[in-house]
């Protein structure tokens, strides 16, 4: 305490003022939950970094520098990332492993450039062996080539939405934060963001000429999936109030999809909310995303009805599991993206469910965006095909789930 005290006393008045201003900026960025949220999720949180770190990766002869360059070139040339998106990924590798191929965390069971799970144990899941080239615990397979293969495999598979979100980004800070939240799987754990990622990303952006590299849509691929996944983070909001001002009367008995949600509603952040969305086609999110960091376990029917359709990845051009329920009072309800396989779904087509019945289970932190959160959509359109065709259209087809359920529950 004495060292800290004398250090503070020794700072010049100008330095103190700078420090207070920086603290004010950080407080403002992360105080959305205290002061409300204006539903414009472009207010992406980021931690200001006063100076770039000077790690060994800045030495062009180091292995870490070569790894950074390989990540950048792979993402921009082979995956189609913008320079900002690739730099954001490198910043996260700096924060995760210091750009080291082998940097194991024994307790977490993770290792590699991006600290993939499943190396020493499966406490955080099992990602590092998913592509097949890397064998758990076998250091000889932990090569740069294999780790880049794994990264590409995930971005073209379970983490395809991260590819779209980060790959098209033009803002280095947003790219860095979104990779952290959705590739590193740290949504709900923003306190672990640290101070190295953004500084490292800025270094990579300048070092490798990121400003001159735009996203290559022909490689990245389109973003016209029939429905949307939870993606970009914004400032904490109060209980979600965003979306349409629907004044219709809601009938029947309703409940929240997770028992842990309070009567007032779920705690949602950024683009988990319904409505305006910068990261999605059409700028619109047709439902809400219950992130697994806060909500997981049994998924409950929010209203009584009939299970009309259960889609598997590939059905009707969607890339996730989707349960479609139709209610007697005219609602169509989509429960999607929470299931890893059919074993996570407790109902079958043709089943009748009552409000609160278990329809499946959402498991925390399994493999990626498409199966670690519940996307909940509510519409007055009972035809699933027609509803899906309007997934990116803010024309009133899709209703704000939070407001609809609140009205159904009543005061």
Domain of residue 364: give its range.
270-409
Burial class (CB in 10 A: 0-12, 13-18, 19+), 199: buried
Domain membership of residue 281 (yes or no) is yes
How many angstroms from the chain centroid is the CA of residue 173? 15
- Rounded Cα distance between 286 and 35, Å, is 25
**Both 81 and 177 in a single domain?**
yes
Of 183, 201, 220, the position where a domain reaches its end is: 220
Whose tokens are 């109902």? That residue is 347
Q: Are both 146 and 278 inside the same structural domain?
A: no
Is there a contact between 207 and 199 (Cβ–Cβ < 8 Å)? no
Rounded CA separation 105/355 (Å): 44
289 with 188, same domain: the answer is no
How many whole angstroms separate alpha carbon 407 and alpha carbon 401?
Answer: 10
Supply the pLDDT for residue 52. Answer: 41
Q: Is residue 30 part of a domain?
A: no
CATH number at residue 178: 1.10.530.10
What CA–CA distance (Å, rounded) separates 394 from 282? 8
Instruction: Clarify whether residues 69 and 165 are in a common domain.
Output: yes
Q: Mark residue 241 as left, alpha or beta (left: phi above 0; alpha: psi -120 to 50; beta: remaining).
A: alpha
**Same structural domain, 299 and 179:** no
Whether residue 129 is found in the same domain as residue 209: yes
> Do 116 and 194 fall within a single domain?
yes
Single pTM value for the model: 0.48
Distance of alpha carbon 384 from alpha carbon 324, whole angstroms: 7
CB 110 within 8 A of CB 195: no
330 CB-side CA count, 13 A: 8
In whole angstroms, what is the distance from residue 119 CA to residue 111 CA? 6
Residue 266: which of 319, 230, 214, 304 has the closest Cα?
230
Question: Is 3 domain-assigned?
Answer: no
Domain of residue 390, CATH code: 2.70.70.10
* 3-class SS string, 227-260: CCCCCCCCCECCCCCCCCCCCCCCCCCECCCCCC
Whether residues 195 and 281 fall in one domain: no
Is 150 part of a structural domain of the chain? yes
Residues β-bridged to residue 335: 323, 376
Sign of the CA dihedral with 35 first, then 37, 43, and 49 last: positive
The H or E element that residue 323 is part of is strand 322-326
Residue 182 maps to a domain: yes
Co-location of 182 and 58 in the same domain: yes
Q: How far apart are CA 139 and CA 300, in angstroms?
A: 43
Q: Are 208 and 69 in contact (CB under 8 A)?
A: yes
Cβ atoms within 10 Å, residue 165: 27
First to last CA, the chain: 51
- Phi, psi (degrees; rounded to nearest 5) at 216: -105, 100
Q: What whole-number distance in Å separates Cα of residue 260 and Cα of residue 266?
A: 9
Contacts of 132 (CB under 8 A, 6+ apart): none
pLDDT in tens, the chain (411 residues): 333 333 333 434 444 444 444 444 333 333 333 333 333 322 333 333 333 445 689 999 999 999 999 999 999 999 999 999 999 999 999 999 999 999 998 888 899 999 999 999 877 778 999 899 999 999 999 999 999 999 999 999 888 889 989 999 999 999 999 999 889 988 767 888 888 999 999 999 999 999 999 999 989 874 333 223 333 332 222 222 333 334 445 567 899 999 999 888 998 888 888 988 777 778 899 999 998 888 989 999 999 999 999 999 989 988 899 999 999 889 999 999 999 889 999 999 999 999 999 999 998 865 444 457 899 999 999 999 999 999 988 889 999 999 999 999 874
* 47 is a domain residue: no
Q: Is the dihedral of CA 44, 292, 251, 227 positive or negative?
A: positive
Q: Do residue 157 and residue 298 come from a single domain?
A: no
DSSP-based three-state secondary structure for 125: coil
| Structural contact between residues 345 and 359, judged by C-beta atoms closer than 8 angstroms | yes
The total of structural domains in the chain comes to 2
Hey, CA dihedral for 203, 204, 205, 208, is it positive or negative?
Answer: positive
Q: How far apart are CA 261 and CA 266, in angstroms?
A: 5
Same-domain check for residues 83 and 142: yes
319 found inside a domain: yes
277 and 365: one domain? yes
The pLDDT assigned to 138 comes to 96
* Residue at 225 is within a domain: no
Cα–Cα distance for residue pair 73/91, rounded to 1 Å = 14
């Amino acid at each position: 305490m004495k060292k800290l005290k004398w250090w503070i006393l020794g700072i010049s008045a100008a330095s103190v003022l700078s420090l207070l201003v920086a603290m004010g900026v950080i407080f403002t960025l992360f105080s959305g939950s205290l002061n409300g949220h204006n539903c414009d999720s472009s207010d992406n949180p980021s931690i200001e970094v006063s100076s770039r770190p000077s790690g060994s990766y800045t030495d062009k002869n180091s292995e870490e520098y070569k790894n950074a360059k390989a990540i950048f070139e792979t993402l921009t040339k082979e995956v189609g990332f913008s320079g900002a998106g690739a730099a954001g990924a490198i910043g996260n590798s700096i924060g995760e492993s210091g750009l080291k191929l082998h940097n194991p965390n024994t307790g977490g069971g993770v290792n590699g450039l991006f600290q993939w799970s499943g190396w020493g144990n499966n406490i955080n899941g099992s990602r590092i062996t998913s592509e097949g080239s890397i064998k758990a615990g076998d250091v000889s397979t932990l090569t740069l080539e294999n780790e880049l293969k794994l990264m590409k495999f995930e971005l073209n598979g379970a983490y395809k939405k991260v590819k779209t979100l980060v790959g098209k980004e033009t803002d280095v800070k947003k790219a860095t934060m979104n990779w952290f939240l959705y590739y590193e799987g740290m949504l709900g754990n923003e306190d672990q963001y640290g101070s190295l990622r953004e500084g490292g990303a800025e270094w990579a952006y300048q070092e490798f000429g990121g400003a001159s590299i735009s996203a290559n849509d022909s490689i990245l691929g389109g973003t016209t999936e029939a429905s949307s996944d939870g993606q970009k983070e914004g400032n904490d909001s109060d209980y979600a109030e965003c979306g349409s001002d629907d004044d219709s009367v809601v009938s029947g008995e309703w409940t929240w999809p997770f028992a842990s949600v309070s009567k007032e509603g779920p705690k949602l952040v950024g683009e988990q909310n319904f409505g305006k969305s910068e990261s999605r086609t059409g700028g619109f999110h047709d439902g809400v995303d219950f992130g697994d960091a806060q909500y997981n376990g049994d998924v409950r029917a929010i209203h009584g009805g009939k299970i009309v359709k259960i889609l598997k990845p590939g059905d009707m051009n969607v890339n996730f599991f989707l349960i479609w329920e139709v209610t007697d009072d005219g609602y169509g309800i989509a429960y999607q993206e929470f299931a890893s396989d059919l074993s996570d779904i407790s109902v079958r087509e043709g089943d009748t469910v009552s409000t609160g019945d278990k329809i499946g289970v959402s498991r925390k932190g399994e493999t990626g965006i498409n199966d670690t959160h519940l996307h909940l959509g509510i519409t007055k359109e009972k035809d699933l095909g027609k509803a899906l065709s309007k997934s990116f259209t803010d024309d009133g087809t899709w209703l704000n789930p939070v407001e609809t359920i609140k009205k159904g529950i009543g005061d």
